[in-house]
Amino acid sequence: MRESILEVENLKKYYSDIKAVDGISFKVLKGEVFALLGPNGAGKTTTLEILEGLKDYDGGKIKLFGEEVRGKVPRHLRERIGVVLQENNFIDHLTTVEILKMFRSLYSNGIDVREVLKEISLEDKANAKVEKLSGGQRQRLAIGTALVGNPELIFMDEPTTGLDPQARRNVWEMIEKLREKGKTVFLTTHYMEEAEYLADYIYVMDHGKIIAKGSAEELISSFGGEKIIEIDLDSKNLDLSFLSEFQKTKIEDSKIIIVTSSLPTDMKKALDLFEERSIKVNDIIVRQPNLEDVFLNLTGRKLRD
């Protein structure tokens, strides 16, 4: 059994009217990529900020590297952590390499700046001013500032939000490489495919609570043999109340999602129902469920709602 380097027990954070974090528990094992998946406002960032020592909490227990932590994380533990915030800015007018050198000086056992530059593929931007970097390059630099201290655990808050697909790919590859090096990565995301692609272990969070957990495969197989029928209609705003004949449906504009355990029966039933009401069907897809459907299945909402 691998050692757990972060343990959270019944963590609570309440604001006057909201339970931002409502009694969540999890363990992060050494060397794994751990994802906290949930829609915006689920409490992911609050959880992460508590773990980073930026926020205090109202109940529960946090053990970081075996030490109980509350509020500000002591320096000797911060030495072992790298952090990529949701919003990454740097001191103006400095170059990429100057920023990395500054961050390395903050750690006792930093690694060679050139090595980091190579890892984040910014060697050609080493002497570029930070304000001249693109969004993806800035994000890579932010990851670089987290790596230059040679941390064991890296926190990443929505590391690919706002990036274009290519830049997102690059970040994913970097996280993959970190896993290969045996680093532990704790990330939050609201991209189902990101969690599915990167994470060894996923906790699904909604309204401050953990509503499901497991690897992507485990979560998806929780559907059993269920399949997804996606029906695209020609027009919106139709009276679709007849769909209540199915157990699990979701309507989004002109798209209907039906979760089914007996595909032929339900498929025929659906088509009959549309035909009876002479509703034109544009397209029908049958597919395996994904994490998005897991979330839909659990909450009745889509992740990005």
Partner 1 sequence: MKRVFAIFKALIVSSIRSPSVIFWNIFFPVILLLILASIFSNIGKEVSFRVNLVDESTTFKNTNMDFASYISEAFKEMSTGKNAVITLESSTTQNFLNESLEKLKSGKIDAVIVIPPLFNTQIYAAVVQQKGGFNLFSKPKIEVYTLENSQTSDLAFTIISSVLESFNLKILQNSGTLSDFVSPKTEYVSKNGQNFSYIDFIVPGILVMAVMTVSIFGITDDLLVQREKKVLRKLFVAPLNKGEYFWAMILSNLAIEIVQIIILLILGLYLGAHFGLGILAILYILFAIVTTLPIGFFIASFSKTSDAGNALANIFNFLFMFLGGLFFPITGVPLAVQIVAYIIPTTYLANGLRSAMGVMSSPTPMYLNILVPLIWAIVMVIYSAKVFKWEV
Nearer of residues 99 and 216 to partner 1, judged by Cβ: 99
Helix (H) or strand (E) holding 167: helix 165-180
Nearer of residues 97 and 216 to partner 1, judged by Cβ: 97
Nearer of residues 107 and 172 to partner 1, judged by Cβ: 107
225-234: burial string, b at 16+ Cβ within 10 Å, e else: ebbbbebebe
Total Cβ atoms within 10 A of residue 244: 8
Subset of 62-101 contacting partner 1 (CB under 8 A): 73, 75, 78-79, 81, 83, 85, 87-94, 98-99, 101
Provide the 8-state DSSP code for 292.
Answer: H
Structure tokens at 3: 């050692």
Nearer of residues 74 and 300 to partner 1, judged by Cβ: 74
Q: Contact, 156 vs 81, CB < 8 A?
A: no
Q: How far apart are CA 272 and CA 265, in angstroms?
A: 11
What sign for the dihedral angle of Cα 277, 283, 287, 293? negative
List the beta bridge partners of residue 7.
Answer: 27, 63
Does 152 help bind partner 1 (rule: CB under 8 A)?
A: no
Helix (H) or strand (E) holding 5: strand 4-14
Nearer of residues 53 and 208 to partner 1, judged by Cβ: 53
Provide the minimum distance between the beta carbon of 26 and partner 1 in the complex, in angstroms, as a whole number.
20
List the beta bridge partners of residue 61.
Answer: 9
Subset of 29-68 contacting partner 1 (CB under 8 A): 52-54
Nearer of residues 62 and 258 to partner 1, judged by Cβ: 62
Nearer of residues 80 and 207 to partner 1, judged by Cβ: 80
Provide the minimum distance between the beta carbon of 16 and partner 1 in the complex, in angstroms, as a whole number.
18
Structure tokens at 187: 């990330």
Provide the minimum distance between the beta carbon of 113 and partner 1 in the complex, in angstroms, as a whole number.
12
Q: Contact, 11 vs 59, CB < 8 A?
A: yes
Does 262 help bind partner 1 (rule: CB under 8 A)?
A: no
Helix-helix angle 96-106:135-147, to 10 degrees:
30
Does 133 help bind partner 1 (rule: CB under 8 A)?
A: no
69, 102, 243, 281: residue in contact with partner 1 (rule CB under 8 A): 102
Size of the site for partner 1 (CB under 8 A): 29
10, 40, 108, 262: residue in contact with partner 1 (rule CB under 8 A): 108
Nearer of residues 133 and 257 to partner 1, judged by Cβ: 133
149, 159, 208, 289: residue in contact with partner 1 (rule CB under 8 A): 149
45, 47, 145, 184: residue in contact with partner 1 (rule CB under 8 A): 145
Provide the minimum distance between the beta carbon of 148 and partner 1 in the complex, in angstroms, as a whole number.
9
**If you count them, how many residues does the chain have?**
305
Q: How far apart are CA 290 and CA 297, in angstroms?
A: 10
Of 204, 201, 146, 202, the C-alpha closest to 178 is: 146
Per CB under 8 A, residues contacting partner 1 are 52-54, 73, 75, 78-79, 81, 83, 85, 87-94, 98-99, 101-103, 105-108, 145, 149
